[in-house]
Amino acid sequence: MAALRRLTLSEGTVKMHVAALLKNLGLNNRTRAALKAAGLTPTSVDTSFE
């Protein structure tokens, strides 16, 4: 949250951009986005916590 304040972005603005990014990537959550960015697939890691 401190980074948001330093950049003068509201939490709602960040959430909106994250949602748009996930939609464009065809993903449904940030965990899947992180896996994609790391070059991993959900089958290559334990995602039972989701």
Q: Which whole-number Å values give the CA distances from 4 to 9, 10, 13, in the listed order?
A: 5, 7, 10
Percentages (nearest 5) of helix, strand, coil residues in the chain: 65, 0, 35
- The string of pLDDT tens digits covering residues 1-41 is 676 567 788 889 989 999 999 999 999 999 999 988 998 87
Q: What pLDDT score does 18 carry?
A: 94
